[in-house]
Amino acid sequence: MRNGNQMTNQTRYETRSEEETMAFASRLSPMLAAGDAVLLEGDLGAGKSVLARGIARGMGVEGPMPSPTFTLMIPYEAGGRRLYHFDLYRLADPDEYYAAGLDEFVGGDGVAVVEWPGMAELDPEPALHVYLDRGAGDETRVITIENRGVVGYDPDALAKWRCGDVN
């Protein structure tokens, strides 16, 4: 994949259950710092919300975590860290995102986890672009991560799930 004029590498992972996807995301969470964004893309039911909850749980967020489908964004705080969980599926136009003032939470004082970033034409940096696809089994997910400037991202820490690199 290209980012401007430079090539970017992608790393591919595979999880075999919802619990394993949560564990993967929980392991990813300490790699994220304030200002980082995680952009989640995939079909309906691909596991974007599961991955978002796993990141939040890994940051120490407890209690119910409803999908922000109708509110667009739900903020969380745990252990002195902030997380902003967005679900932009219901946006009719990218301008709605900016009119609501949601852009101030991406690249700010917390980690932004965004489901359906294309609905607002988001492409911030630093960001992990995460693509979720269904795998061979019913609960199997193939997770492809493209790192665009997230300093803490460490593919080796996720080696348990790694199934290859893509250039």
Q: What does DSSP say about strands 127-134 and 37-42: parallel, antiparallel, or unpaired? A: parallel
Domain residue ranges of the chain, discontinuous segments joined by +: 32-152
CB 164 within 8 A of CB 10: no
* pLDDT band at residue 138 using 50, 70 and 90 as cut-offs: confident
pLDDT of residue 4: 42
Q: Which two tokens stand for residue 12?
A: 């591919």
As a whole number, mean pLDDT of residues 3-10 equals: 55
Length of the chain in terms of residues written: 167
Q: What whole-number percentage of the chain has pLDDT above 70? A: 93
Phi then psi for residue 86, to 5 deg, are: -110, 145
What's the pTM? 0.91
Q: Which of 51, 58, 50, 52 is nearest to 29 (CA)?
A: 58
Across the chain, what does the average pLDDT equal?
Answer: 91
* pLDDT band at residue 1 using 50, 70 and 90 as cut-offs: very low
Q: Is cis: bond before 66, omega within 30 of 0?
A: no
Q: What is the pLDDT of residues 76-132, one digit of tens each?
A: 999 999 999 999 999 999 999 999 999 999 999 999 999 999 999 999 999 999 999
Beta strands in the chain (DSSP E): 2-3, 6-7, 10-15, 37-42, 73-78, 81-87, 111-115, 127-134, 141-148, 162-166
What three-state secondary structure class fits 140?
coil
- Which are the contacts of 89, defined by CB distance < 8 A and separation ≥ 6? 69, 115, 116, 119
As a whole number, mean pLDDT of residues 134-141 equals: 90
As a whole number, mean pLDDT of residues 125-154 equals: 95
Q: Which two tokens stand for residue 29?
A: 């969470």
| CATH architecture entry for 32-152 | 3-Layer(aba) Sandwich (3.40)
